[in-house]
Amino acid sequence: MRHKRAIPNRSFRVADQIQRDVAELIRDLKDPRVGMVTINSVEVTPDYAHAQVYFSVLVGNPEECALALNEAAGFLRNGLFKRLAIHTVPTLHFHFDKTTERAADLSALIARANATRAKE
């Protein structure tokens, strides 16, 4: 029973390490399309073949940034090979994470509704 529980934990640890390492490696990219990127989360497939990397951008165009990051995925994966102590380093797939954008929009809507209610 203990063995089955250890596998998901390992997957989370690997995803967490990939998240930290990719965030550092992105700083070395010279592509102007990659703005101020934050890696929000990483999901690794059970076989470690693929990692879905979700990011947000403080400065820059999200679509252009996703394109640039996916073009640099091989370079970033090579950087992970040197840092990760695992047999299979996953192929990276970058996706713009609209969650923070939606949260900001919702906060603005709530603030507007509260301001309107306060006036009444």
Per-residue pLDDT tens digits for 18-50:
999 999 999 999 999 998 999 999 999 999 999
Note the residue count of the chain: 120
- Rounded to an integer, what distance in angstroms lies between the CA atom of residue 35 and that of residue 23? 12
Answer for the pair 55, 69: CB distance below 8 angstroms, yes or no: yes
Options 3.40.50.1000, 3.30.70.600, 3.30.300.20, 3.40.1390.30; CATH for 2-119 is 3.30.300.20
71: nearest Cα among 4, 6, 26: 26
Instruction: Fill in the amino acid letter for 73.
Output: A
The token duo for 84 is 């990760």
Domain ranges of the chain: 2-119
Task: Give Cβ neighbours of residue 28 (< 8 Å, ≥ 6 apart).
Answer: 79
Q: How confident is the model at residue 94 (pLDDT cuts 50, 70, 90)?
A: very high
- Rounded to an integer, what distance in angstroms lies between the CA atom of residue 56 and that of residue 12? 20
Per-residue pLDDT tens digits for 45-93:
999 999 999 999 988 899 999 999 999 999 999 999 999 888 889 999 9
